[in-house]
Copies of this chain bind each other. A is one copy, B any other.
Amino acid sequence: MSMSEQLELVSATKSFGGWVKRYKHYSRALDCDMIFTIYLPPQAEEGRVPLMWWLSGLTCNDENFMQKAGAQKTAAELGIAIVCPDTSPRGLDLPGEHDSYDFGSGAGFYLNAKREPWSKHYRMYDYVTEELPSVVRLHFPVNGRESISGHSMGGHGALVLALRQPGRYAAVSAFAPIVNPIQVPWGQKAFENYLGDDVGLRTQYDACELVAKGSSRQPLFIDQGEADNFLEEQLKPERLEAVCEEHDHPLTLRRHPGYDHSYFFIASFIDEHLRYHAERLYAKR
């Protein structure tokens, strides 16, 4: 095994008959050590299982979803593994890396950076689409069927990864995603610093632009809380709705009165997402 394929077990905790396990490994794509969390349902002890990727939002790491979303019960029932990558490279001290919550550490935006000093390490797109999937397939009993979901910045990640890789994921869904990052403050700050001025490059990481380009027909399933503090300035689901309408792209967008941007919102609807994913992960091809 090469260095990047070696895993060090950080912790293993039994959960709903399966296991929440954290592993540390050296990432070649990011050139630093990374930790990820995997939930292995009880069915993984008997055979290979499908896998849902979960991409977390700003300030999160690999742990928040497993601790707060309450997904394991239904994942155990449905026999789905879940992998939560971290949200950025770690253990570096690049200039300004830790200065703000919405850029640098905890805020990798699931892209490959082009600008110095970020471009050597901030390659989360490659990490999450290539390197980590290889590691997971090598070490765990997964069956090759994958789907993807995420929250906020991670919802952006889930949509972009699915739209850019047609046929890769059996299902994609998102909670309160940043659907049009090139037009909102979070995305503009991150893209300016990671990607620079190249408009063509920026649009490759923008779900609305990808839908407009028509590169994939992947149906999108999105839940959005109407009491979300970031709804109007950062999330703007109406933009994705309009572009999907214009380009006849299949979208299910549910708006939930009273729900905010927190994990209490995610927990309230994660079971429905897991069942949506399971139906497609287990569908006959």
Asked if A91 is at the interface (CB within 8 A of a chain B CB), the reply is no
Q: Is there contact, CB below 8 Å, between A14 and B70?
A: no
In the complex, the chain B residue whose C-beta lies closest to that of A73 is: B70
Number of interface residues of A (CB under 8 A): 25
Nearest-Cβ distance from residue A262 to partner chain B, whole angstroms: 6
Quick one: which of B14, B227, B256 contacts A265, CB cutoff 8 A?
Answer: B14
Asked if A26 is at the interface (CB within 8 A of a chain B CB), the reply is no
Q: How far is the CA of A258 from the CA of B13 in the complex (A)?
A: 8
Q: Is there contact, CB below 8 Å, between A13 and B262?
A: yes
Asked if A16 is at the interface (CB within 8 A of a chain B CB), the reply is yes
Q: How far is the CA of A7 from the CA of B217 in the complex (A)?
A: 52
Asked if A140 is at the interface (CB within 8 A of a chain B CB), the reply is no
Q: How far is the CA of A188 from the CA of B262 in the complex (A)?
A: 40
Asked if A263 is at the interface (CB within 8 A of a chain B CB), the reply is yes
Quick one: which of B14, B227, B263 contacts A264, CB cutoff 8 A?
Answer: B14
Please give, as numbers and ranges, the residues of chain B lying within 8 Å of A66 by CB-CB distance: 264
Quick one: which of B68, B73, B265 contacts A67, CB cutoff 8 A?
Answer: B68
In the complex, the chain B residue whose C-beta lies closest to that of A17 is: B268
Q: Is there contact, CB below 8 Å, between B267 and A72?
A: yes
Beyond A67-B68, A67-B263, A70-B73, whether A268 also contacts B227 by CB under 8 A is no
Asked if A97 is at the interface (CB within 8 A of a chain B CB), the reply is no
Quick one: which of B13, B16, B268, B271 contacts A14, CB cutoff 8 A?
Answer: B268
Quick one: which of B16, B225, B264 contacts A268, CB cutoff 8 A?
Answer: B16
A225-283, CB < 8 A from B: 225, 227, 256, 258-260, 262-265, 267-268, 271
14 further A-B contacts with Cβ under 8 Å, apart from A13-B260, A14-B258, A67-B263, are: A13-B262, A14-B227, A14-B256, A14-B260, A14-B264, A15-B265, A15-B267, A16-B268, A17-B268, A66-B264, A67-B67, A67-B68, A70-B70, A73-B267
